[in-house]
Structures are given as structure tokens and as C-alpha cells.
Amino acid sequence: MLLRHTTAAVAERSALTVNPAKTCQPIGAMYAALGLNGCLPHSHGSQGCCAYHRSTLTRHYKEPVMAGTSSFTEGASVFGGQANLVQAINNMFTIYEPEVIAVHTTCLSETIGDDLPQIISKARDDGKIPARKFVIHANTPSYVGTHVTGYANMAKAMVDYFAEKNGVRSRAVNIVPGFVEPSDMAEIRRIAGEMGITPILFPDTSNVLNGPLTGKFAMYPEGGVTVSELTRSGSSKATVALGRLAAGPAARAMDVKCKVPCHILDLPVGLKKTDEFVDVLRQLAGVQVPDSLEVERGQLLDVISDMHQYLHGVKVGIVGDPDQLIALTDFLVSVDMIPVHIVTGTPGKKFEKRIREIVKDVPHRVNVSAGGDMFLFHQWVKNEPVDLMIGNTYLKYIARDEDIPLLRYGFPILDRVGHSYFPTVGYRGGIRLLEKILDALLDRKDRDSPESGFELVM
């Protein structure tokens, strides 16, 4: 019982986080930057930040993750990090030859007050940035927001630095996916393709963090949105953001900067939320939903109907990031399951309101916390056990101690594979989620059923 110290009585904790359900902004910014073609993310802070982010992303994706660091010293912390960053920019363009360097700040560089735009323009004036190469930045102090907002900030930086309007509206549609897997990004692109839309998708980590074994080490894998696509994105006819928190700010920035109208949607997880996404694409493309997608939708519906008696009334506890939880809660409610405990580590008042709205007809009390942690979640589970938990790998401690099946979903997943390759968005993603939910529930039923009730056919 690793978590044997966890008590059922929930005490007020104002200054303490135990077993976090979040991490800091910079890692989100680093992940988003990897979705830019030929980009080398750069951590403007101590060496450890960069090492930790790279290690965590490597554990989650099982891929090499490249990023530079300003390697702050005591001197830099007193006199400012300008010299370090200018030298870093010079070194990186000289030896690693990226197209873009995407700098994000850390708690250290933010607190000492480094002015990134000023440092970047100094680097340009000093001739450290070669022609047709770029340095962009996002402010991501670790004491504000979480990894989700860090992702949002870097996605927005892509708009701030690159999007241009040339006066002519193209037929292209921008799609900004939230903090989702490379597989999800590829699936979002595929769905748009089925609707006859070739999107400008950014960030796009597919073919970056789920690449093949080639026998070569590629500093810059093939995937990612290109600078020229981002430049053109300012002339697109619309932007669709998937995930209000992680993708919304980039879409709104595009609207403000280039007057590209934006549609800010939830992540397309499950039947209803995918319907909403497909419907917006349909209107933008001015087409009927193609048969191919109708079939996929019908298949998802078919699986739900085939197995609905096993889903009915199942109590679920979920931990994750706000965009994922909103869409997932909606999906669980729509298949007659009962989300009982919902915890995100990312603070925000709107989150609880949205969740309350989604669960208003659920015939059960629902605990919701924005800015909670795994310890609180565990206490809730002790007070009211659930049949299934959905969340990242850190839930495995609770799953083991309380003997509850766990479906790994979200970030990070440190102990299983699959998330890089098989999406959970779209209709097909919905089928995969259901498959995983049912596997977990029915394996448990098979294990726990008395011999007399042990069934061959389910």
C-alpha cells in the first residue's frame, strides 16, 4: 500500500500540493514547439528544466526529444540572461541548423525580468539570426497556469510571429488542436480531409513524436506545420480551435490579428463532440457529410448500443486536463455512465461551471475540482469508490491500492504504448475509448465473477 498514509477525511490544504495532477507551463510550450517543422525548442532557464521536460516527453512518447537550454549560471541570474540567450541562439543556428528556434521562459528568467522580444531583436541586430530563419517566444512562468496553458501560449506565439493576411481570403481552414497526442492530430487532419478540407494544422506533432525507426537520427523529423503554412494561415477563411483552454487563445489571436473568424469548440472526443466538429467543418466546406464519416459515426453508435448494458450506471473517477475532461465527461454521460469524481490540476472557474452543466441530469452527486491534486482525488475515491478510473499513469498508485481498474488517458503515460499511434478523437477514437473502457470493465468482471456467473458470451 504505497499510499497507505492517505486518509479518508479531507482536510483543508491551502499551501500544499500532494501528488500533483498537473505540471508546469514550459513543458507544454516545448511540446507545442515540437509541432513546428524544423523547430528547436529552447528553454530559457536552468539546465534542469530542459532535462526534465525532455525526459518526461521521452518517457511519454518513447522518442528522442531535442531542445536547447540557456544553462543559467549564478551570474546570469544576477545580471540577466541576455548574454546566455544570444550566445545560445548563435550556437544553435550554427551547429544544429533549425529553421526556427522557439524560446520559452521559466520561473527563473521571468522573475529576473528578462525581456525576450528585446533579446531576440538584439540577436537579430547582431546578425546572430541567419536570413529566412526565425526566433519566436512564449512567456511561460512556472508559477502561473500549468502545462496546458504553456501549450496554449506557444500555439498563440505561432500566430503572433507568423500569421499574415494578404488581403485575399483563401479556401483554407486553420485547425488548432489542443494538447493531444500526435495520433489525434493526424486523425483530426484525416477527418478534415474526408470533408474535402486540407487544413493548416498547428501545432502538429504527428510524424515528429511518433516517427518510424529508420536507422538514422533525425534532429528534425519530417512532421510539423511549416513556417510558410503559418504565414498563409492569416489568409484562411476560418480557424477551428479544438479545446477551449489549450487551443482557444491561438484562434482568438488569429481573429484579432488577421480577422480570420474563429470557431472555438471542445475536443472532438465521443459522439456529440465529434458531431459538433464535423458540423462546423461541413458548414465551412459547404458540403454534405460524406458517407465515409457517416459510416464511422454509425459504427460508434453501433458499439454503444451493442454494449450499453455494461456501461449503464458504471461509476467513473477521472483526472486530467480541462479540455479532455469536458469532452470525456460529456461522452461518459452520453453512454449512460456516471462520472462521480472529476479532478484537474489546472485552476479555472469556468471548468467547474461547464462540468456542472454537462452532469446536471446525472442522477448522482458529482465531485468536481479545478486546481485539485491526486491526493484529493484519492480521498474522494476512498469516500465513494468507483468502478473505473480514467487518467494518466500516476493514477496507477490509487488503482493498485484501491483495486480499481484504470484506463490510461492523458498526459503523461509513462508505462504503456499505443497513445502515439491510436487516436481517441473522432468517431473511430470514440470506438477505441469504448474498447478500452469495456476491456477494463469486462476483464474485471471475468476476474471477480463467481464460477457460476462466469460467462463465455458477453
Partner 1 sequence: MSQIEVLKDRKSQIHLKGSEPFEMTCDRHSLSGSVSQRACVFCGSRVVLYPIADALHLVHGPIGCAAYTWDIRGALSSGPELHRMSFSTDLQETDVIYGGEKRLYAALTQLIDQYQPKAAFIYATCIVGIIGDDVAAVCSRVSREKGIPVLPVHSEGFKGTKKDGYRAACDAMFKLVGREDTADVSPFSINILGEFNIGGEAWIIRKYYEKMGVQVVSVMTGDGRVGEIGRSHGAALNVVQCSGAMTSLAEMMQKEYGIPFIRVSYFGLEDTAKALYDVARRFPDNPEILTRTMDLVKNEIRAIEPDLKEYRKDLEGKRAAIYVGGAFKAFSLIRALKTLGMEVVLAGSQTGTDEDYRILEQMCDEGTVILDDANPVELSKYVIEKDADLFIGGVKERPIAYKLGVGFCDHNHERKIPLAGFIGMYNFAKEVHSTVTSPVWKFAHRRRRV
At 179, is the secondary structure helix, strand, or coil?
coil
Cell of 78: 544576477
Instruction: Encode burial over 204-240: b for 16+ CB neighbours within 10 A, e otherwise.
Output: bbbbbbbbeeeeeeeebbebbbbbebbebbbbbebbb
Q: Does 64 bind partner 1 (CB under 8 A)?
A: yes
Nearer to partner 1, 12 or 361 (CB): 12
Query: Which one of the spans 77-85, 118-126, 225-233, 275-283 is the region binding partner 1 (CB under 8 A)?
Result: 77-85
Residues 215 to 244: which contact partner 1 by CB under 8 A? Answer: 215-219
What number of CA atoms fall less than 13 Å from residue 137's CA on the CB side?
19
> Smallest gap, in angstroms, from Cβ of residue 243 to partner 1?
21
Cell of 231: 504565414
Indicate which single residue of 35, 36, 37, 45 sits in contact with partner 1 (rule: CB under 8 A): 45
Residues 388 to 417: which contact partner 1 by CB under 8 A? Answer: 394
The Cα–Cα gap between 443 and 445 comes to: 5
Indicate which single residue of 8, 48, 283, 306 sits in contact with partner 1 (rule: CB under 8 A): 48
> Smallest gap, in angstroms, from Cβ of residue 44 to partner 1?
10
> What does the per-residue mask of binding to partner 1 show for 174-213, with x meaning CB under 8 A?
-------------------------------------x-x
> Smallest gap, in angstroms, from Cβ of residue 433 to partner 1?
26
Query: Which one of the spans 87-95, 244-252, 264-272, 442-450 is the region binding partner 1 (CB under 8 A)?
Result: 87-95
> Smallest gap, in angstroms, from Cβ of residue 397 to partner 1?
8
Asked whether 147 and 23 are in contact (CB, 8 A), the reply is: yes
Alpha-carbon distances, residue 12 vs 9, 65, 93, 255, 404 (angstroms): 10, 39, 50, 42, 26
Indicate which single residue of 32, 76, 136, 335 sits in contact with partner 1 (rule: CB under 8 A): 76
Nearer to partner 1, 144 or 442 (CB): 144
Nearer to partner 1, 22 or 232 (CB): 22
Residue 393 DSSP code: G
Residue 367 phi/psi, 5° resolution? -90, 130
At 176, is the secondary structure helix, strand, or coil?
strand
Query: Which one of the spans 50-58, 244-252, 293-301, 315-323 is the region binding partner 1 (CB under 8 A)?
Result: 50-58
The Cα–Cα gap between 333 and 324 comes to: 14
Cell of 86: 544570444
Residues 90 to 129: which contact partner 1 by CB under 8 A? Answer: 90-92, 94-96, 106-108, 111-112
Cis peptide before 117 (omega within 30 of 0): no
Total chain residues near partner 1 (CB under 8 A): 80
Cell of 401: 491500492
Please, what is the end-to-end C-alpha distance for the chain in angstroms?
Answer: 33
Indicate which single residue of 8, 13, 190, 353 sits in contact with partner 1 (rule: CB under 8 A): 13
CA angle centred on 320, ends 315 and 322, rounded to 5°: 105
At 191, is the secondary structure helix, strand, or coil?
helix
Beta-strand ranges (E) seen in 254-386 are 262-265, 315-319, 338-344, 367-370
Residues 344 to 383: which contact partner 1 by CB under 8 A? Answer: 345
> What does the per-residue mask of binding to partner 1 show for 20-39, with x meaning CB under 8 A?
x-xxx-xx------------
Nearer to partner 1, 56 or 205 (CB): 56
Residue 209 CB contacts under 8 Å (≥ 6 apart), including other chains: 34, 57, 61, 63, 65, 182, 221, 420
Indicate which single residue of 88, 158, 337, 433 sits in contact with partner 1 (rule: CB under 8 A): 88
> What does the per-residue mask of binding to partner 1 show for 126-155, with x meaning CB under 8 A?
---------------xxxx-x---------
The Cα–Cα gap between 336 and 434 comes to: 12
Residue 326 CB contacts under 8 Å (≥ 6 apart), including other chains: 244, 266, 267, 351, 354, 355, 358
> Smallest gap, in angstroms, from Cβ of residue 49 to partner 1?
7
Query: Which one of the spans 15-23, 196-204, 263-271, 325-333 is the region binding partner 1 (CB under 8 A)?
Result: 15-23
Nearer to partner 1, 58 or 299 (CB): 58
Query: Which one of the spans 57-65, 161-169, 200-208, 240-248 is the region binding partner 1 (CB under 8 A)?
Result: 57-65
> What does the per-residue mask of binding to partner 1 show for 328-347, with x meaning CB under 8 A?
-----------------x--
Query: Which one of the spans 16-24, 196-204, 226-234, 355-363 is the region binding partner 1 (CB under 8 A)?
Result: 16-24
> Smallest gap, in angstroms, from Cβ of residue 92 to partner 1?
4
Residues 294 to 333: which contact partner 1 by CB under 8 A? Answer: none
Residues 240 to 269: which contact partner 1 by CB under 8 A? Answer: none
